[in-house]
Amino acid sequence: MIYRSVLFSCLLLICLISFNTRLIYADYWCVNTTYNPNSTAGRMYTDNLNFLLSTLSSNASLASRNGFYNFTAGHDPSNMVYGLFDCRGDVNPDACGRCVANARGDILKTCWNQTTAFMSYDDCLLRYSNESMFSRADQSVTFAAWNTQNATDPDKFNQVLSDMMNDIASQAANDRSGKKFAVKEADYSTFQRLYALGQCTPDLSSLDCENCLSNAISQIPTFCNNRRGCRITFFSCNIRYELYKFYNSVSPAPEPASSSSSSPPPSPPPPSNSTSSEEGGGISTQTIVAIVVPISLAIVLLVVGFCIARRPRKPYFAIIETSGKL
């Protein structure tokens, strides 16, 4: 027993260390559209921008916004600001609000005198411009980031990945929850499971969403070539896959009016005793030992696997490319 708790503490320590060193993925785009914030027009633009960002930020934690909101500030076309946020489909309103609030601070620091800016995080993206971007699939800039480690069995990996991604594209495009979001998982080998996600901003039509995701998927051979984890992000849609579960459990049906309680990290389901009692005839001590030991072993293995899977986040490498394609 003591041995086991020592082992567990060690594992916990390893896990904590790898959590501390993990990088939070963020990408931004705000080049070549500077304005002078001191000019009369610039001051009005700045005022509108601040109003836009505070409106978006205060709406991000509202469950009624469903993780997405677009807004326009100002009336004079010469200084109107258009903006939106979109939270990842599995993220609850609280986390969405925090992410957008954080993005609002970062975007003002990083792109303070830019008319157009985009910022993308694990949990959300935030975007504004002096031109309307609503309901348009914009794939003009490619953000790519990948794990520098490769999959061990490329052929199998690419087959599983490709099947998953195609499903995700059509599922997200036709997502009835209004989030244009889909996740999928599949066995890649006996010990490894592949987890993937795709999402469009929900203002896109189904057709535009599917095209956008297909376009992102077509970038996989270029940027994600056999990588164990990878992300392709456009302004209007993004895909991601990893060998660990990087999203919260999503039930097939959308959770009813998701409460503001933050969802706990996924934990292995507690072994229930209802099945065994239903089998009748009582369960012998030997069987119980035989079940309990493998379960605790499985949990230990799970924790180890979880920590190991988390660690490769460090060597993530990111790149941004413009294609000029809209």
Ligand X SMILES: *[C@@H]1O[C@H](CO)[C@@H](O)[C@H](O)[C@H]1NC(C)=O
Least separation in angstroms between residue 322's CB and ligand X is: 8
The answer to whether 71 contacts ligand X (rule: CB under 6 A) is yes
CB neighbours of residue 292 within 10 Å = 11
Q: Does 152 bind ligand X (CB under 6 A)?
A: no
Q: Is 147 helix (H, G, I), strand (E, B) or coil?
A: coil
| C-alpha 272: how far from chain center | 31
C-alpha 193/C-alpha 185 separation (Å) is 7
12/207 with CB nearer ligand X = 207
Taking the least distance from each CB to ligand X, the nearer of 103 and 183 is 103
Closer residue to ligand X, CB minimum distance, 146 or 234: 146
Report the residue number, 102 or 115, with the smaller CB distance to ligand X. Answer: 115
Among 12, 16, 17, 36, binds ligand X (CB under 6 A): 36
- 131: contact with ligand X by CB under 6 A: yes
Report, in angstroms and rounded to the nearest whole number, the Rg of the chain calculated over CA atoms. 23
Question: Given candidates 102, 226, 233, 236, which one binds ligand X under the rule CB under 6 A?
Answer: 226
Applying CB under 6 A, the span of 1-9, 20-28, 65-73, 244-252 interacting with ligand X comes to 65-73
Residue whose entry in the numeric block shows the structure tokens 């999959």: 151
Closest distance between ligand X and the C-beta of residue 113, in Å? 4
CB-nearer residue toward ligand X: 46 or 139: 46
Tell me which of 46, 70, 92, 120 binds ligand X, using CB under 6 A.
70
**Cβ atoms within 10 Å, residue 105:** 11
| Count of chain residues binding ligand X (CB under 6 A) | 26
Task: Choose which of 50, 113, 206, 258 interacts with ligand X (CB under 6 A).
Answer: 113
139: contact with ligand X by CB under 6 A: no
Asked if residue 72 binds ligand X (CB under 6 A), the reply is yes
Q: Which among 87-95, 129-137, 247-255, 258-266 is the span making contact with ligand X, rule CB under 6 A?
A: 129-137
Q: Give the torsion through C-alpha atoms of 227, 127, 180, 317, to 10 deg.
A: 0
Which CB, 159 or 273, lies closer to ligand X?
273
Please provide residue 115's backbone torsions phi and psi, each rounded to the nearest 5 degrees: -75, -25
Long-range Cβ pairs for the range 287-291 (8 Å, 24+): none
> Of residues 46, 59, 201, 233, which one binds ligand X by CB under 6 A?
59
Q: Which residues contact 77 (CB under 8 A, 6 or more apart)?
A: none
In whole angstroms, the minimum distance from the beta carbon of 320 to ligand X comes to: 12
Euclidean distance between CA atoms 223 and 144, whole angstroms: 7
Among 16, 134, 262, 271, binds ligand X (CB under 6 A): 134
* Binding residues vs ligand X (CB under 6 A): 32-36, 38, 55, 58-59, 70-72, 113, 115, 130-131, 134-135, 148-150, 203, 225-226, 273-274
